[in-house]
Amino acid sequence: MQTECSAGAYEFPASYGRRVVARFDGGRMSSDGGVILVKQVDDSLGFSRRFAACFRDERHPAFVEYRVDAEISQKGCTSG
């Protein structure tokens, strides 16, 4: 089954000083570039943040090494 794709390019906000463009004219290929798209969507819509808010963290703050939102998103770990 043939899929109809738009050959246009889609610009996203720059990431770490690099231009981010999605194009769908590459044929059959695989890349980790989709992760950048997922991060951009999560940053703008806040899925990870909202999902983390569903958990009640009853740990004692003095013993918390990683916040729940950092564990959910795997964006990095901060004490808190």
The residue extents of the domains of the chain are: 7-45, 46-80
DSSP 8-state secondary structure symbol assigned to residue 61: G
Q: What is the pTM of this model?
A: 0.47
Mean pLDDT of the chain: 78
| Rounded distance between C-alpha atoms, residue 12 and residue 39, angstroms | 11
| The pLDDT of residue 34 | 74
Work out the pLDDT band at 15, boundaries 50, 70, 90: confident
Work out the pLDDT band at 77, boundaries 50, 70, 90: very low
Instruction: Write out the two tokens for 8.
Output: 């246009």
Q: What is the mean pLDDT of residues 35-47?
A: 83
Work out the pLDDT band at 73, boundaries 50, 70, 90: confident
Q: Could you tell me the CA-to-CA distances from 69 to 7, 34, 53 in Å, in that order?
A: 37, 21, 8
| Rounded distance between C-alpha atoms, residue 5 and residue 50, angstroms | 32
Report the greatest alpha carbon distance in the chain. Answer: 57
What is the chain's Cα-based Rg? 18
